[in-house]
Structure 1
Amino acid sequence: MQPDSATPPTPPAAVLWDMDGTLVDTEPHWIAAETALLGRYGASWTHEQALSLVGNALPESGRVLAAHLEAETGVRLDPAAVVAELVEAVVAQVSAAVVWRPGAVELLEALAGAGVPCALVTMSYRSLAETVARVLPGAFAVVVAGDEVERGKPAPDPYLRAAELLGVDPARCVVLEDSPTGIASGEAAGCRVVACPHMVPIPPAPGRSRVASLAEVDLAVLARVAAGEVVDTVGATPAEP
């Protein structure tokens, strides 16, 4: 028996959004801030090295940058001070102008219209997360920031915390992510994950949905993913004429 095509698909209980690289295009700001900080002390920092930090919890990135600086120059910096400087620089950039990822605002508006709650789940600190959230008042029912969880991504804690605050089952949530670290976090939390690659490629994996852009995602796609369907348009080629 075929399902009734007139019956609307059941949306997810909630949609949990990563911020940097998924909702807003802040990754170039982070890379510029890292390069400027290290360059001030005469240390090099390649684009490839910067990409290796995408999605990391900020304390871990601070440790990596401090260790790199000491290895290259002998200069020792407190990793927490490194993070504080990076956050300040990126907050200043985002305060001047927010660059949304394609399709993100439209999808948030559609979810609000359908009554689907959203959470912002980021490894950035609350000062930056609130700077972004304030631009779209009411879009996020809760914000989980990197300085408020004991274990950051790739541990499941941030997404589990978001589901707990929303009062929903993680298994009924869909996570939107752009980094391998964030995807690992969402999958470990038991959520359905839609990967939208940005700065780094995301390989296919069993049960993992991937899209080239959030502009491809609507309520129907999220309902299909929430129901267990895998949607993968990354690398899809047009059909032969």
Structure 2
Amino acid sequence: MSLDTSACATQTGTTDPMPAAVLWDLDGTIVDTEPVWLAAEFSLARRYGGEWTEEDGLELIGSDLLDAARTIRERMGIQPTPEEIVTAMVGEVADHLRHADLVWRPGAIEMIDRLAAAGVPQALVTMSYTEIAEALITRMASNPFGAVVTGDRVTQGKPHPEPYLTAARALGVDPARCVAIEDSGTGTRSAVAAGCQVLVVPNLVPVEAGERRTLVDSLAGLGPADLGALVAGPGLPR
């Protein structure tokens, strides 16, 4: 089901329904770091003489990093441990976030700012590690996140619901009244399993339609009231 952005993009007002919180994925949703992850994977392959393709990398988008590293180790046939692989890739991506010109996803920063102005709690829910989340936050004008859940701070990563349940609990909100914003099927399954409504903005990989998920091409032109409409029910604005 698609959200009709021409019909429902609205200005936030005191009578507009708001979500209890908005829970943000990071990579590919707020900032376009997926090509940076792919580059880090190819760098590993070159360093250790492994074989890797772009299709291999795309399969891992949104995954728990240790799970991804196990796949990388097996498919590349290389010797470093999964922990060593994660350390190398996290360091490369974090360095990019600290120093490179960032490619922000269309409408993401504007939505974050509008949610903050409307007083809607926000959390960052990412399988990237704390080092990467902190590097991103330092590049933002201020820290809008009341909770930050990272892959190194959960027992089970996406697509398990633990990351989104942890974020909702940290904010003291019902996940069923939250909107998660995701770009991958793996992250979307995690948020749906946690009971969230999910606004899916696909980036490098397609995401199938399904229960409690709304697909849009971009966040540009949307506002907090559009997210509120997803949890107000029944149905979506037309």
TM-score, normalising length: structure 2 = 0.90
Counterpart CA distance in 2 for 1:231 and 1:216 is: 17
Partner of 1:115: 119
In the TM superposition, residue 229 of structure 1 has moved relative to its aligned partner by 5.4
Counterpart CA distance in 1 for 2:176 and 2:212 is: 13
Counterpart CA distance in 2 for 1:218 and 1:57 is: 30
In the TM superposition, residue 55 of structure 1 has moved relative to its aligned partner by 0.3
Partner of 1:204: 209
Partner of 2:185: 180
The number of equivalent residue pairs is 224
SS at match of 2:91: helix
Residue 110 (structure 2) pairs with residue 106 (structure 1): yes
8 Å CA contact retained: 2:52, 2:76: no
8 Å CA contact retained: 1:211, 1:231: no
Aligned equivalent of 1:140, options 130, 136, 145:
145
Partner of 1:130: 134
Partner of 1:3: none
Please give the per-residue CA displacement for 1:66-103, whole angstroms capped at 9, x wherever unaligned: 11122xxxx42211000100000111111113321110
**Alpha-carbon spacing, 1:197–1:232, altered in 2? closer, same or farther (3 Å):** farther
Residue 14 (structure 2) pairs with residue 27 (structure 1): no
Counterpart CA distance in 2 for 1:210 and 1:187 is: 13
8 Å CA contact retained: 2:65, 2:151: yes
Q: Could you list the runs of 4 or more consecutive aligned residues of structure 1 that deviate by over 4 angstroms after TM superposition?
A: 229-233
8 Å CA contact retained: 1:179, 1:202: yes
8 Å CA contact retained: 1:192, 1:228: no
Q: How does 1:1-241 map to 2 (within 5 A)?
A: 8-70=15-77, 75-97=78-100, 98-136=102-140, 137-228=142-233
SS at match of 2:22: strand
SS at match of 1:214: coil
Counterpart CA distance in 2 for 1:149 and 1:7 is: 36
Q: Read off the aligned partner of 2:123 and give its amino acid letter.
A: A
**Alpha-carbon spacing, 1:231–1:47, altered in 2? closer, same or farther (3 Å):** farther
Q: Structure 2: 5+ residue runs without aligned partners?
A: 1-12
SS at match of 2:180: strand
**RMSD of aligned C-alpha atoms?**
1.7
Counterpart CA distance in 2 for 1:123 and 1:214 is: 21
Counterpart CA distance in 2 for 1:105 and 1:126 is: 20
Counterpart CA distance in 2 for 1:86 and 1:185 is: 23
SS at match of 1:16: strand
Q: Percent identity?
A: 47
8 Å CA contact retained: 1:211, 1:232: no
Please give the per-residue CA displacement for 1:5-64, whole angstroms capped at 9, x wherever unaligned: x97221001000000000110000000000011122222211111100000000001101
Q: Structure 1: 5+ residue runs without aligned partners?
A: 1-5, 234-241
Please give the per-residue CA displacement for 1:136-160, whole angstroms capped at 9, x wherever unaligned: 2231111101000000000000000
8 Å CA contact retained: 2:66, 2:82: yes
8 Å CA contact retained: 2:201, 2:217: yes
